[in-house]
Structure 1
């Protein structure tokens, strides 16, 4: 039995050690990267006051926003991923929540094409052959890097068309998951309210990031836009819907479990279990070799006694 079990344990131990080393050195570089195929639809809701040009007053309405973000696998490669993001903000009349660019309830709509590094999550304008009309981006765009830190990151704001500071502010629980909250403050940045209409833009945005994966689990935005003469054009407060937050937390929990399995538990079980299996195999083989010699020695002593 020892002759069989010893080699088996040695083989198992070797396999576990290799698996543990792969989990320690190889797996993080493979799994801690933005996937090449991603399709996400994010739902937000809130309130907005929009300028009624006939009266010059803001009209308050409930609103919803939809952001459809997906990767372009044909353009992406092993290091960089291409994205297409379409979004809209609509007045909420209580019907089906869809983007309708022909509706008078449309507040804003946009299409964004960009690319990001699969590890750092920073915008990359050079590595891929993006369409000619793709606007160059800066900083983080739609997620944080794996292993996010409590520091200030550059963060893309499409309204001002440049990266702004997203400063770490605090930690906060979101649906049972600890997040890092980053705060973006913009004060009276010059923008176009509409084509050819100058104005300013003020915003306080908070982004709730799960640090292990860099996933955004919630986001709030309190923004105001003014015409050049100071007339309010838009006063908007918006955040992820409760259902969106719950779905994001649930999906993120599965992602973190997979990461832990490959980068934490696999090295521990592989290296620890492999070492124990090899040690047990060696002891069994040694014991198997020593048993006949010991038995022969006993017979010699017994014969000498007679």
Structure 2
């Protein structure tokens, strides 16, 4: 009985180990990939797990306002930058072929900056790019584009590095992060660990030193005419200190801060600040981001760590107990057989020796005289 029960437990143990390996090496990798489709949230923030827009706010910002048929002006006020991303399942199915098939997804991105006091739109951009499903880094795709600050059509761009997300299981190391203004990926340094509303996050910092944006001559001339009439040439200098807090398991942003500056530098006259704004995720965006990152983190840890470890422990215990029962059962059976064999050999009774028979006097067959008989 013990041996039979042990064999059953041993089989269960082997099955648990196989399931643990399957969960760790086959199931977990499938959930640590960007899905092909995600649902955008409605006005009530439903359905559960939907994509919510990110909102960053800059208080007392100084910024350039451009209006049709009016000269550019510098304003001061509260800016609100809204960013939305939307996976393009249909485009992915058609465009991600060859080496990109199954390995990349296409995302659309849309950004709007509004002056909250008036509701006026200050700037907008739209983009479409391909992201590696595992690392979330931009990959080469011939139809990627970025359209920003102008009615002209989409312009060619080469996205690279991280854009809207960090890799699953983000490591404490430097990465590359794409900047829309300079239109290339630049290093973003690991800057430590910090808790954001109770959630542990990796902090990354990217410092972009003063860089000439190389704007078209006609745009620079229009700015010079408004803010430096005596200048014959000039340039727009951009700088930014970008800090991103990342939940490391999911790779999701939980907080973003960008300290942006743009200066018009003429060859004559004084420089003019076209933008001086400190954008930080709103409290509601931080709360939404932490909730979303926590949900994704728990799912990834459950499938990639908790379930495999539980199956591993249960399988190992079942193997050990099962093996012990099998061996002890076999020993018990062997001992019982040995006792049975001993009883058969030592317990049988040998035939008792016969007692010697009394000697009988055998007559010779002749009659015995009466006197002789009596004497006897």
- TM-score bracket, normalised by the shorter chain, equals 0.7 to 0.9
In the alignment, the residues of structure 1 paired with residue 335 and residue 89 of structure 2 have an alpha-carbon distance, to the nearest angstrom, of 68
Q: What secondary structure is seen at the aligned counterpart in 1 of 2:124? A: strand
Structure 2 CA distance, aligned partners of 1:3 and 1:208?
A: 57
CA distance in 1, matches of 2:123, 2:55: 15
Structure 1: distance between partners of 2:314 and 2:216: 63
Structure 1: segments with no counterpart, 5+ residues: 95-102
TM superposition shift of 1:110: 0.5
Aligned pairs for 1:123-162 within 5 A? 123-126=138-141, 135-162=157-184
The answer to whether structure 1 residue 65 and structure 2 residue 81 are counterparts is yes
CA, structure 1 residues 148+107, in 2 after alignment: closer, same or farther (shift >3 Å)?
Answer: same
- Matched residue pairs, number? 296
Is 1:45 aligned to 2:50, yes or no?
no
Instruction: Provide the residue aligned with 2:8 in structure 1.
Output: 8
Q: Distance in 2 between matches of 1:284 and 1:194?
A: 86
Q: Give me the CA root mean square deviation.
A: 2.9
Aligned counterparts of 1:244 and 1:279: Cα–Cα separation in 2 = 50
- Counterpart of 2:276? 235
Decide whether the 8 Å contact of 2:192 with 2:203 is kept in 1: yes
TM-aligned CA deviation for residue 93 of structure 1: 3.1
* 8 Å CA contact retained: 2:3, 2:328: no
After superposition, the Cα gap between the structure-2 partners of 1:129 and 1:106, relative to the gap in structure 1 and judged at 3 Å, is closer
Equivalent in 95, 104, 109 of residue 80 of structure 1: 104
What's the TM-score once normalised by structure 1's chain length? 0.84
Return the offset for 1:300.
5.4
CA–CA distance in structure 1, aligned partners of residues 143 and 2 of structure 2: 62
* Secondary structure of residue in 2 paired with 1:74: helix
- Which of 186, 189, 206 in structure 2 is aligned with 1:167? 189
1:28-78, Cα deviation, whole Å (9 max, x unpaired): 432222222234321222222224688987422112121110211223342
- The alpha-carbon distance between structure 1 residues 156 and 282, as it changes in their structure 2 partners (threshold 3 A), is same
1:206 aligns with 2:243: yes
TM-score, length-scaled by structure 2: 0.70
Matched with 1:223 is 260
Q: With a CA cutoff of 8 Å and minimum separation of 6, indicate the structure with the bigger relative contact order.
A: 1
Out of 223-232 and 284-293, give the one that drifted further: 284-293
Residue 14 (structure 1) shift: 1.9
Equivalent of residue 124 in structure 2, options 109, 114, 126: 109
CA distance in 2, matches of 1:17, 1:64: 52
Within 2, Cα distance between the matches of 1:170 and 1:293?
A: 64
Q: Secondary structure at the match of 2:36?
A: coil
Indicate if the aligned counterparts of 1:193 and 1:225 stay in contact, CA closer than 8 A: no
| TM-aligned CA distance change 1:217 to 1:152, over 3 Å | same
1:114-172 superposed Cα distances (whole Å, 9 cap, x missing partner): 1111122221114x765786632121111111232333221100111111221122221
Q: Is the 8 A contact 1:168 1:181 kept in 2?
A: yes
Please state if 1:178 is matched with 2:204: no
- Whether the aligned pair in 1 keeps the contact of 2:163 and 2:177 (CA below 8 Å) is yes
Asked whether the 8 Å contact 1:115–1:125 carries over to 2, the reply is: yes
> 5+ unaligned residues in a row in structure 2: which ranges?
41-50, 93-100, 146-153, 221-234, 349-376
Moved more, 68-77 or 154-163: 68-77
